Structure 1
């Protein structure tokens, strides 16, 4: 099983959900060799539930994941916290939608939920809890207390950060930190544009059909995190493509007004 734990299906928070773009993303994910994705869309993205309304009406949901033409798509969400930082929560469709509803009053920067409150909510559900890009300058997590971080299940080795800060130096920095606080590391490409798929991924030695199975495999170390030799090209290409697509969408919306 080859899975990416940090992936988006919208080009940006402000853009509308585009079914054709979603289908293209799923096709390209499979083309890179991925067999599973965690769909960790931003919790305060525009019209969050549009994503689930479309997928529910077009694809099968079973065992805790959607089956997208052979690709497993695990529901998830990326949440901003008050202290600065992002937390990835991956679980069943029902649990992710319930958590999103509970965050209705925390969607703007001045109302972001504190870390401990978010984890209090998350721990009521069967979720995989990942600390996203812990050393990203704009949204770090390393400043939190060790006791707080140890409430997470893993830390995110993020494709964008490997590109920005250097593959080997960043991997060592994150590995040293993860060892210090005794947390495993999982890979996430942080894809918004499909060229980025395959930059970072996880090879599991067994198929996982539920979040509990994913957590068990991570805790027992029954997987390997891999980075692509083409990571730099993948992320740079995706970044440029995303910039162009966002401008095209913005220009189109402006003309329609």
Structure 2
């Protein structure tokens, strides 16, 4: 099962959720050879609840994932923490919704939830939690308390960072961190635009239908990672097209 652990449904936090845009994303993901994705939209994006409300109204939720034109879409969110870092939280729909409600008072910069508190929240649910882009200069998760980092399930080999930091350097750094903390490393494109799908993804040894199955495979390292030969071209084109489309959307809003 080809799976992307880090994806977004919107061009940016500031724009409204567009179902046609996301449907295009889903169809392109399938064209890129993906069987499933984790939808890890920013928890403090504009109208976060609208994303899942809209999906609920248009697509079946099948005991752990949405079936969107044949693509398995597992609910999740990307959460900012006070110490500076991003955590991917993937779980059952009702758990993602419930945990998001617990974060209502922590949506502003300077007032994000402390890392330890987020981990305590997570313990109330069956969730797969992944440290996102740990070597990104703006969110250097790698520098945080190792005792907290060890409570994560995995780290994210991120498509954007493979492009900006270099494939060999970023891969070596993230895998070294994972090794030091005895944590696996999974692949996620971090795409906001369909061109970035397939840049990096995870090949799971088995098909998964629920977050519990995803977590078992990740924790037991029954997977491999594929980095596309044209990763740089995919990411650069996604960035270029994202900015063009984002300007168009924001101009309409204004």
The normalised TM-score by structure 1 is: 0.98
Shift of 1:110: 2.0
Mapped to 2, the partners of 1:89 and 1:148 lie a distance apart of 15
Could you report, residue by residue, the CA deviation over 1:193-240 in whole angstroms, capped at 9, with x for unpaired residues?
000000010111111111111111112211101110010000000001
Match of 1:126 in 2: 126
Mapped to 2, the partners of 1:58 and 1:203 lie a distance apart of 28
Counterparts of 1:100-115 in structure 2, within 5 Å, are 100-115=100-115
Shift of 1:158: 0.2
Match of 1:45 in 2: 45
Shift of 1:244: 0.7
Pair 1:148-2:142 in alignment:
no
Pair 1:78-2:78 in alignment:
yes
CA RMSD after TM alignment: 0.7
Shift of 1:47: 0.4
Pair 1:222-2:222 in alignment:
yes
Match of 2:171 in 1: 171
Shift of 1:175: 1.0
Match of 2:182 in 1: 182
Match of 1:205 in 2: 205
- Count residues with an aligned counterpart: 254
Q: Which runs of 5+ in 1 are unaligned?
A: none
Match of 1:238 in 2: 238
Mapped to 1, the partners of 2:253 and 2:13 lie a distance apart of 15
Shift of 1:75: 0.1
Q: Which runs of 5+ in 2 are unaligned?
A: none
Mapped to 2, the partners of 1:241 and 1:163 lie a distance apart of 16
Mapped to 2, the partners of 1:109 and 1:220 lie a distance apart of 35
Mapped to 1, the partners of 2:205 and 2:173 lie a distance apart of 26
Shift of 1:86: 0.3
Match of 2:2 in 1: 2
* Runs (4+) off by over 6 Å: none
